[in-house]
Structure formats: structure tokens, C-alpha cells
Amino acid sequence: MIGIGLKWLLAAVFFLSVVACRQKKKIEESEKFFPVLSFLQSQVAHVDTSLYSIRKIIYVDSLRNDTVYLKREEFRDAASDFLSLPDLSEDKYHERYEQTKQFDETLNRVLMIYTPLKPEKELVQRQEVLIKPDQATGDKVTNIIINSLVNTKDSLVEKRMLWKVDQSFQVTITRQLPGRPETVSTFRVVWGEDEEP
């Protein structure tokens, strides 16, 4: 009789541990960071194999200065500011960044925001993923916004980057060198339906 009771007890403990592991796995999956780098790499791969007309627009002092057409082979290079950033979806960043989710009714977007717990030690200062909810066709990522900062004893370089999914990206670089005025340069690369503001 004791043997049967012990078997039932062991079976119950095993069942509860399996259920607990599954629940823990579901929680961990829901807390995973959005794979921004993989997403952007897929966008670049798409443009690499497309027939889009790709334009690079350069701004100086907020004024349009020059427009050049890029070959498909040059697109990846133009997007290197995005592709060279760390992948925050890697496990090692989960303890270094905080993820917050919110819904913006004005934009009708879900915002996934990533901020470092110790900003002075991280390159990426803020990363936002904007998602348009749609029950009929599925949720769609619309924009990715990334701010990065490199601060050395000789310079301060801040990059504000915006990726408009399937349309364009923009990079604004602010440089501050000792004893010199701050410089700001911006370029946009357009391949989809995006038109200039």
C-alpha cells in the first residue's frame, strides 16, 4: 500500500514539475526581446534581391544638399550603422536592458522600448520598436528607432536612427570634438514608397 502511495506521490511531483517548467518557458518566451538586428538583416536581404530604385539623400544644416542613386550592392554598406549595432535579443543583454511595452492610442501602435540599466556602459541608449496591431492580417512592425552614444575623452558621437519598414531609413550623426563647434549630418536612404517630408 505504501509503495502505491509513493508511486502516486512521485507521479504527482513529476507532473507538477513538468507543468512548472512549461509555465516558466512561456514566461521566458513572453519576456524575450524583439530581434531587431535579425529583422533589419531580413530587410536588407530583401532590398539586396529587389529591383528598387535606391536613393541616398544627404542633408547639411537640415537642408537637402545632394541626392545620389545607390547600386543594390551599396545598400548594405549604407545600412551599416544599423547592422553594426549589438543584438539586444541575445541573452547577455537581458540583465543589462529593461523592456517596457505600452500602447499609444494616438499612433495606434504598440511600443516596445529598450533602455539600458547603466547607460554610461552601453552603446545603445534607447531602442524602440513600433508595431501596428491588426487582427485580420497580423501585427506589423512599422518603425524602429535607435539612439546610440559613443563618449570618449576625445569626442562625443550620437546617432539617432529611424528605420521605416519597407520604405526608408535615416541616420543623423551629431559630433562634438574638444574646442570645436558641434557638427550635425543627416542622410536618408529611400527604396520603397516613402516620399520626402
Each domain of the chain, given as residue ranges in start order, spans: 1-30, 33-190
pLDDT in tens, 126-140: 999 999 999 888 999
Q: Tens-digit pLDDT profile for the chain (197 aa)?
A: 455 554 555 554 455 455 444 544 443 545 799 999 999 999 999 999 999 999 999 998 767 789 999 999 999 999 999 999 999 999 999 999 999 999 999 999 999 999 999 999 999 999 999 999 998 889 999 999 999 999 888 889 999 999 999 999 999 999 998 888 888 999 999 998 655 54
Q: In what order do the strands lie in the sheet with 124-132?
A: 63-70, 54-60, 183-190, 168-176, 156-164, 140-151, 124-132, 109-116, 97-104
Distance from C-alpha of 140 to C-alpha of 132, rounded to nearest angstrom: 5
- The candidate with the shortest Cα–Cα distance to 66, out of 55, 79, 80, is 55
The pLDDT value given to residue 97: 98
The pLDDT value given to residue 16: 47
Which grid coordinates are listed for 134?
491588426
Q: What is the mean pLDDT of the chain?
A: 86
- The candidate with the shortest Cα–Cα distance to 180, out of 159, 163, 155, is 155
The pLDDT value given to residue 196: 53
The pLDDT value given to residue 24: 44
The pLDDT value given to residue 154: 86
Rg of the chain, C-alpha, whole Å: 23
Which grid coordinates are listed for 150?
559613443
Q: What is the pTM of this model?
A: 0.80
**What are the C-alpha distances in Å from 142 to residues 13, 80, 166, 197?**
46, 20, 8, 17
The pLDDT value given to residue 59: 92
The pLDDT value given to residue 61: 72
Give the position of cell 512561456.
26
